[in-house]
Each structure stands twice: as structure tokens, then as C-alpha cells.
Structure 1
Amino acid sequence: MSSTSNADTKQSSDPRPSAGPAQTLYVDTASAVVRREDQYFVVDHHTENGTERQMSVPVPEVDTIALVGRACCTTPALRLSLRENVQVVLLSCHGKVKGRLHGTHPANVNVRLGQYEAQTEDARRQMFARSFVGAKIHNMRRRLRNTTYRRTGDRLSEATRALKRYAQRLSTAETLDALLGLEGAASKAYFKAWPVLITRPEPEFQFSTRTRRPPESAVNALLGFTYGLLQNDIEAACIIAGLGPHLGLLHRPRPHAPTAVLDLMEAFRPVVADSVVLSLINRGAISPEDFEQRDGGVFLAEQGREAVYRAYGERRDETVTPPGYSRSLPYYRAFELQARRLARSLMDPGTSYTPFRRP
């Protein structure tokens, strides 16, 4: 996780750029404080040697302040945020959304209206859903293809061919159920190749099938826990972009389920979460002693969770150049870019959605 405050302005090459700046002021330095100075948000960092000014940003250039961990905001700065319609999002140091503060006239009403309208337009909803599934299959294929360059085997080749077939069938899937079916079949084919991807010989890291609630193996425990960290990051991105986390397009809205978050997660599972799990296992960064059996399943113990936190934090800080974007971003900012792209497409049906496909 980054140890410095930062503020990035999007310079997207999407079909239609958003009106006005779309900038988030991330403050993720421990003991950093956001203050108001006239019409500026300033970030001060208190150290043993005194107070250090980290940045100063004009209020009109900020639409969201994201406070991570112990970073905080003074009351005058909060009042200014409320007045200027700048939302303040509170995140844990692992990216979990703890809450948010916004004025009486939130700027995301048009995004929410777009989400509701898309629920009733079958063709448009299926277009978004097809993009989510297509990006996930592409990224799963990419992970397997990268492995086949180093190793050969019938299981890898068979899985890669299966994913290619499912990708080709996307254009003929005419219902959400058909798209969900293709996503499920592709994921099953992908995980059938995982025994080849895992190089550790210990029986604890043998993998046969994906299981949940409870996870029945150490690999499944790692997958479930890491997917949870990814879900927290994507939910934070959705809130920053003004999306309602519970209004999904591929995943149908249902009580207490953040289905819009699950939609955007699909493309990032193979390239972020799965990458972390395989790296932890194959590099020997986690051991069988880092797991415990309870409640009918296998779960990470405290030491194992700490190892995952470290590895996931390093991965989310790695940079990538998203499709159609002019520069590289840390993954956690790529999450937000995708959420903003989705929000923009929902507000304007003439703006196409660019899914995240790893180059």
C-alpha cells in the first residue's frame, strides 16, 4: 500500500471525456491531516521533526477525498467539502469502505439514474454483461498462456482451448443466464488447470476444485480471502465513482449483495487476486502452518492473513496501462478508472464501455 499522499487527474482517451475534472485526492500516509486553507485542500504530515506540507490542491480540482487508515480531515475541511459537493470516503488500511460523507445534493444522481434505467433495457444490460464476462475470459486465457510459455502439458493446452471456445460463444449468448453460464463454464475450465500452475509439492497445496463457504483446502482459503480484499477495493472504487454498489448488470440485484462490485471484479480476479495466490504459494511465502481447520473448512490463521495482506498490498500498487489509456496506473487506481468508465457509459448511452483486458 502506498505510503504517500497523491492526487491524480484522469486524462482518459475514452470515446467521450467527462465534463470537468475527475480527480480523487488519496491520503494514505499515517498521521496525515487534510486541512482547509482558503479555497485549497492542503495535506500536512506530522513527524518527529515537525509538520511537513505534502501538497496543496485547489478545491475545484477535487471531487473526492479518500482517507485511508489513520489519515484524517479537520472540521473546517469537512464543512468545505460538504459545501462544495466533494465527497469524503473513509477506507481502512486494507481498502475496506468504512463509510462516506457527502452534501445534501450528491453529484452521483445521474449515475444512479443510469444504473436504474439499464436494469430495464435488456439489450443494453446484456452489452455491459458481455463486456464483463469477455474481459474475465480474456484475462484468464492470458494467465494460462503466460504459463504455457514456461511449461507444457495437456491440461494447460486443453484449458486454453476451452477458454477460447467460450470467448467465441459470447457473441451468440442472448440472455443474462446464458452469459452467466459461459462465465461459470469458463471459470471451471480455468481452475482445472490450476494443479499445473501450482508448483509446491506439499499435499496441503494440492488443488482439485473451487469450493466456498466453507473453503475445503488451503488454496481455496487463499482464493476466498484474497477475493475479499479485491472486493473491498472495487467497492471503494464504485463509491468514489458514484456507482450504487448494489445495482449490478451481469449479477442481478439481490438483498445485501454488492452486485455492481461483483460485475467489475470479474476482470480483475485473474490478474490481481489469482496472481497473489499463485505467487504466495510458488515462492514459498506461505506455509501449511499458516492455516487452521475449523467450522468444517480450512481458513487462514493470523500469520497467514498477514502474509496475504503484504502480498496483496504489493500487487495493488504495481502499475498497469489500462486499455485505451495513455499512461500506467497502480492497480488500485485502475479499479477506479473502470468504475468511472462504467459510470460515464451509464450516464450517456452514446459512450461505450471499455472493459479491463490485461495487455
Structure 2
Amino acid sequence: MKKLLGPVLVTPALIATCAERGITIALMGRNGRFQARIEGPVSGNVLLRREQYRRADAAEDIVRSFVLGKVSNQRAVIRRALRDYAEEMDTAARQALEGTTDRMAMILRRVQMTDSSVDAMRGSEGEAANLYFAAFDHLIRSPDADLRWTGRSRRPPLDPVNALLSFLYTLLVHDCRSACEAVGLDPAVGFLHRDRPGRPSLALDLMEELRAPLADRLALSLINRRQVRAADFRKTEGGAVLLSDDARRTVLTAWQERKREERQHTFLQEKAPFGLVPYLQAQLLARHLRGDIDAYPPWFWS
């Protein structure tokens, strides 16, 4: 997927060519917020979508896979930081991160119980997210005092780190939505995320497994390597914090580079670039709904 930044004119001829080739054009505001999309005919499989709709209200097994994937990957990000940077951390930070991984392991064991309801698993996912973000500041090694983490804020993001995360999440959910449509799934009807008008719930479901290893780790890398600094952000009169144009270019370049990195897919037993994982997971979900495989396999980062 090619992303262009700044005032760009898209000609009708280019729009037609993209539509013919199945290429979606997404329009986003200066802060990365999704505004609109232009796409050709959607070739959804009606039988696949009927099964998706039927399973949406009774999807304990699918929700369990999404939650296991998300929490496992959040925990893996913290464990990787402990492995690589424990010697640079003070005792309090190291103990906080170790305690977080222990509590997240307990949550994973709870979710694996076969009698967990969807609501219970949603609660476990939220509990793990709170633990993860409570420890997030310990993952930031930048000396820039204005790039500290004080908690998650969105719509609008109120500090630079949240602004960076929100921008990356916007890019990721767009990729996940495109993946859903590419395999014939309805991106609006999810399993973990409840239906809401205008929300791509299934795209958000697929995104959960990828947030921590793809978006969060990239944000941390950009901050810790000082490729993005506090001076790259500005605050609006309404209090929202936004990336500068130059910083967005830096982030988009790093995003495309990260998506080319390959990781082993634990279910497929072969390497695949990060950028292909949303499509692979959407394809596996479609195969599960069709009955080709017994369960939807989460994507585990390592």
C-alpha cells in the first residue's frame, strides 16, 4: 500500500485504474484520522458473510483466539524489553515489568478456560490492557521529558506518545479493513468488538493481535532512537496533540520499512512480512468460518 502525504491531487483516471485493480484509496486528515475511502466493487462471498453474521452472536472460540493473541503479544513486547534492556533499568522499573508479565500470564490462563463467556473474556482483555499501559512508561528510554507516558488518551490524543500511537493505529486498522474486504468478510461485523454504526468492528478485532508488536514497538523504537522528538508535535487550541508534517513523513517511512520485516507465522510455519499478516489472519478467519480449519489460529509474535 502506497501512502502519500500532503495536498495530493488524485485524477479520475488514477481512481478508475485503482478500482479496476482492487486498490483502495484512503483519505486521512492531517492528524491521521480516517475520513473516507474510494474503492471498486466489493466481491464479498455471500455464503461466507452469512456464516460471519450467524456466528457474530455466539463466537466464544473466535473471541478467545483474538484475546489470547493480543495479550500474548503485549506480554511478549514487555518480555523482549526485559531481555534487551534490563541492565539499563532501575530496580523499580524492572520489578514493575516482571510483575506485569506475571499478572498477564494469569490472565492468559483464565482466558484459556473453555467456560469463559464472551463478556468475561472482554473483561480479561481490558484488564490486560490496563496492566500493559500502566507499565508502558518503563518501555520508554528517551531522555526527552516531554515524551513520557501518563496514560492512554484518544479522540483527541493529549500528549505526543498518544498522538504517535493513534496515528499508527489508524494506519493499522486501515490495513486490517482492506484485508477483511480482500477475503470477502464484512469489516463492520466483529466478534470481540460489538457492532456500532460506522465502526469497522472486525477490522478492529484483527488489529488487536498486531497493535503491540507492530504499532507499539514501532512507536517505542522511533521515540527511543530519537527519530521522533517532542519538538515534532504541536498542540491545538482544543488541546489535541498532532504530529508535524515532517514527523508524519518520518513515521510513514518507518511504517513501510517495518511492514517489510519478516516473522515466522506459527500456524503456517513459514516466514511472512508484517505487512502481509492482516491478510493472512483474515484469510485464516474466513477458512475457519467456512469450516476448512477447526479454529481461528491467533498470530503470535516472537
Give the TM-score range, shorter chain: 0.7 to 0.9
For residue 91 of structure 1, report the CA deviation from its aligned partner: 3.8
Alpha-carbon contact 1:113-1:347 (below 8 Å) kept: no
Aligned length: 279
The answer to whether structure 1 residue 269 and structure 2 residue 211 are counterparts is yes
Map 1:161-180 → 2, pairs under 5 A = 161-172=102-113, 174-180=116-122
Distance in 2 of aligned mates of 1:241 and 1:99: 18
Would the alpha carbon gap of residues 212 and 92 (structure 1) be closer, same or farther in structure 2, given more than 3 Å must change?
closer
2:132 pairs with one of 187, 190, 197: 190
Q: Which amino acid aligns with 1:301?
A: S
Alpha-carbon contact 2:65-2:298 (below 8 Å) kept: yes
Structure 1 unaligned regions, length at least 5: 4-69, 79-86
1:301 pairs with one of 244, 248, 254: 244
Identity across aligned pairs (percent)?
Answer: 33
Q: Encode CA deviations 1:74-97: one digit per residue, 9 max, x unaligned.
A: 99xx4xxxxxxxx72324599x88
Structure 2 unaligned regions, length at least 5: 4-13, 29-33
Q: Give the alignment's TM-score, normalised by structure 1.
A: 0.72
Q: Which amino acid aligns with 2:276?
A: R
The answer to whether structure 1 residue 353 and structure 2 residue 290 are counterparts is no
- Could you say which structure has the greater relative contact order, defined with CA pairs below 8 angstroms and 6 or more residues apart? 2
The answer to whether structure 1 residue 132 and structure 2 residue 66 are counterparts is yes
RMSD over aligned Cα atoms: 2.6
Which residue is equivalent to 2:46? 109
Alpha-carbon contact 1:139-1:270 (below 8 Å) kept: yes
Going by fraction, where is helix more abundant, 1 or 2? 2
The answer to whether structure 1 residue 314 and structure 2 residue 251 are counterparts is no
Would the alpha carbon gap of residues 284 and 155 (structure 1) be closer, same or farther in structure 2, given more than 3 Å must change?
same
Which residue is equivalent to 2:230? 288
For residue 101 of structure 1, report the CA deviation from its aligned partner: 2.6
Map 1:6-155 → 2, pairs under 5 A = 73=17, 78=20, 88-92=22-26, 98-102=37-41, 106=43, 108-120=45-57, 122=58, 125-149=59-83, 150-151=85-86, 153-155=94-96
Alpha-carbon contact 2:44-2:186 (below 8 Å) kept: no
Alpha-carbon contact 2:288-2:296 (below 8 Å) kept: yes
The answer to whether structure 1 residue 160 and structure 2 residue 101 are counterparts is yes
2:278 pairs with one of 335, 344, 350: 335
Greater CA deviation, 209-218 or 345-354?
A: 345-354
Would the alpha carbon gap of residues 303 and 74 (structure 1) be closer, same or farther in structure 2, given more than 3 Å must change?
closer
Q: Give the alignment's TM-score, normalised by structure 2.
A: 0.85
SS in 2 for 1:185: helix
State the structure with more CA Rg.
Answer: 1
